[in-house]
Amino acid sequence: MNADASAMTATAPSTLATSVLPDFTAIKQRQQATWASGDFAIVGTTLQITGEMLAEAADIRAGERVLDVAAGNGNATLAAARRFARVISCDYVQHLLDKGAARAKAEGLQVEFQVADAEDLPFADASFDAVLSTFGAMFTPQHHRAAHEMLRVVRGGGRIGMANWTPEGFIGKLFRLIGGFVPPPAGTQSPALWGTEPHIVQLFGPQAADIRCERRMFSFRYRSAAHWIEVFRNYYGPTLKVYAALDGSQQERLTEAITALLEEMNVGGRRSLVVPSEYLEVVITKR
């Protein structure tokens, strides 16, 4: 996955003078530091079902060569490896790859792990049958570059499968809420755009033989709103960094706002927290 301290924000693309260009190198450096903080695997492993569903949607088959981009702790990686694909798991944070490698070893799965930037993949053209990304490539600062790289490394007739949070779902609302406290880097596009069909068509349409988008739900399941905040504040890099950027009173206001959002969307009753979060499952077949 790729994000910075304000990566959970999702505002409309910034309107800047054409002479002002974002410092993407600095943005990426902050992103890497953010994802190396905390312990993303504690949150990431709860999302495993989305990797399994994506592997099914993308029709991953035994023997296929599969690349998991911005793999984080390896949810799509493990799902593809369980289907006996030949998998390379890549991310630009070594710590996250180490977590994925430990999971693969525990299950006896054969996976290659490699440090790589989703916007500059070190693989040959048309070298994979399928490329996957679950809530990872969507956080790249330059959307068109990430899309270009995924298209470049997949063969003609191959598939690109993605799971991306939508602007309308819980995470999309959380993006906007947090953006009111820590604005996103100037000049960057919202990661939640990846959860919209028009943006997917804009990025991939010219080289796509087919694009299938399905809106799905993942439910965050925790003991309470306070429990969710405790876990995300301590272990999820972007949230950890957002809190660290605020003073005490701002932290309290942020906690109150997130609590209100969680309780508003909770369908689990008074004794537990169950918050459905919409995401867009995308499968693109390359021409």
Per-residue pLDDT tens for 122-153? 999 999 999 999 999 999 999 999 999 999 99
Q: Is the dihedral of CA 75, 80, 82, 83 positive or negative?
A: positive
Q: Is residue 9 part of a domain?
A: no
Alpha-carbon distance 93 to 81, whole Å? 21
Alpha-carbon distance 42 to 236, whole Å? 8
> What local confidence, expressed as pLDDT, does residue 187 receive?
83
Q: What are phi and psi of 280, to 5 degrees?
A: -100, 120
Examine the pLDDT at 10 and tell me if it is beyond 50.
no
Examine the pLDDT at 117 and tell me if it is beyond 80.
yes
CA dihedral 225, 230, 232, 233 (to 10 degrees): 130
Mean model confidence pLDDT for the chain: 93
Q: What does the DSSP assignment read for 240-256?
A: HHHHHTS-HHHHHHHHH
> What local confidence, expressed as pLDDT, does residue 8 receive?
52
> What local confidence, expressed as pLDDT, does residue 26 receive?
92
Among the ranges given (16-25, 140-149, 208-217, 219-228), the one the predictor scored with the smallest mean pLDDT:
16-25
Q: Is residue 236 part of a domain?
A: no
> What local confidence, expressed as pLDDT, does residue 36 receive?
87
Residues 6+ apart with CB under 8 A from 60: 66, 79, 80, 83, 85, 130, 132
> What local confidence, expressed as pLDDT, does residue 84 receive?
98
CA 12 to chain CA mean position, Å: 18
- How many distinct structural domains can be found in the chain? 1
Q: Give the residue-averaged pLDDT of 199-208.
A: 98
Between vectors from CA 257 to CA 255 and to CA 259, what angle results, nearest 5°? 65
Q: Give the residue-averaged pLDDT of 207-222.
A: 98
Q: Is residue 6 part of a domain?
A: no
> End-to-end distance of the chain based on CA atoms, in angstroms?
27
Alpha-carbon distance 274 to 264, whole Å? 11
Query: What is the helix (H) or strand (E) element at residue 44, kind and residue range?
Result: helix 40-44
Q: Is the dihedral of CA 166, 284, 40, 222 positive or negative?
A: positive
> What local confidence, expressed as pLDDT, does residue 11 receive?
41
CATH number of the domain enclosing 143: 3.40.50.150
Q: Is residue 248 part of a domain?
A: no
Q: Give the residue-averaged pLDDT of 226-246.
A: 96
Alpha-carbon distance 215 to 237, whole Å? 26
Q: Give the residue-averaged pLDDT of 200-226.
A: 98
Examine the pLDDT at 247 and tell me if it is beyond 50.
yes
Q: Please give the residue range of the domain that contains residue 90.
A: 24-219+277-286
Q: Is residue 246 part of a domain?
A: no
Res. 266 pLDDT band, cuts 50 70 90: very high
Q: Is residue 227 part of a domain?
A: no
Examine the pLDDT at 22 and tell me if it is beyond 60.
yes
Q: Is residue 156 part of a domain?
A: yes
Examine the pLDDT at 14 and tell me if it is beyond 60.
no
